[in-house]
A and B are shown apart, each in its own frame.
Chain A
């Protein structure tokens, strides 16, 4: 679907200063603590005072009863631009879009985008059981399997329709795990073999243990500002070529087989002015591997239904033909709640500014970052994507 009015380019707006607060499986600290660590790290590395940051975008599931407003007083900041973005795995892309336009229009100079969550021993159950009104009314009472059960149904249906096999999903997960072996804070530290994957215990058929992310506590952050501001702060940066965002796409699909990207995908490429084959890496939202396959299709790398063939004919490690989730993705490093929505963007900026935590994608000039999330009822509602480029 082509856009109506021509969308304004992101020239002169950049993303910089990728920050990760190392993940922990369980934490007795609050989300406010984790987000505070991220903000402090951003200030420290940028050599800024918190007062110099005049824009703040926050994403978190476990911040309650606070929202971003409460954090301003909690952190002692007085921003002139504030956004609370509760879109789960799409939060990062959406925060980037909001922050970029704020900076472009002069509503803010330097926006800190932070996302993170704590993980108490009962956070998982509590988050699941109160996730959304539709989940409360129409999903949780049915086995309380959480997103695992919802995505199992999506995965099963996708396998029935397009012939995807568990081995195909295994390939994605194994490659991502390889990419994570050099990441110090990754939750999953061992190599994953096909046998490990296939014989793992079932969670909700056909989803097994290694299809699932490990919930943990952690935080991610980065800054969005004008190019000249980044230069003045001596911060390496990545340029924003294009973005898209779409929510509740294809509501009449009985079971989700495509995400919102498919609606606006031509817009993403035409705004960026490059083609899919020019991309050096993708950071896909990987909760669960079936969504990775769907993103390969819906982001324009292959046609709908060709995902299994695409997987079989490419390799996804950082030295492979199609580097995917170059720091391992949530499947390997863990899902720090809403932090999972920013992790792809943070890793993309690291690769594009030659400061990866682990292995580098050789000569990374541009990359696609994709976000997805919010299983409100039976499908992920939120989606977004961005194409970033080296400075």
Chain B
């Protein structure tokens, strides 16, 4: 597994707040990594560092290059959608294609046209005349037609309705992703992208609180729905999170063998969303203590 991104000890502060505090992680080729955290956790700062859009302390190599000094070179192999609403409003669809084709050696115009043909977007339209969903489709068509090695998406579906969100991720998986490419997605809406990721990194208050492959999660974490009379015994095994819903007590354990927990209730692998909530809550509690 070759590393596409290697971050060691990233630090960044805005005014007095620490956006990144000693963040280290590695992203390998052919992975789809979710960078997940609540608003203001440092996700966007980490992405901006990776894309050479901000200054920071620490070591960072993206495709072997330091984004601070070799940004222009890097952008040939990295593409990103910072946000859905950044296409200039005066731009025509035809001009957008013309522009990207003119400046990007790895842009395949026919492929972009193919994406657009499946939508209702007309070549003559200006971005300001398109709905938010259509702007996203256009942006996606432009970016997915670039033969990049790393694609970075920052809250790509923020403010879109369900239909477009689903379509967005379907297109990403079916028409773009392959073993040569790597995708890094930030989001704070975990539920809908659960099945997309091969790896997840949870970030909170500028620190990484979890960094694991999705297969690894199943081995490390167990969610136990405790039968009422076993609650005390289950607590002795030190769950790092417990929660009561509809009168059912749910606990999440890290690194406990299933055999030890099975007699106490019903076992399953926690969903990424459950784990996210547990991790964030646990993290807050630890800090409060």
Q: Does B bind A?
A: no
Which residues of A does B touch, CB under 8 Å? Answer: none
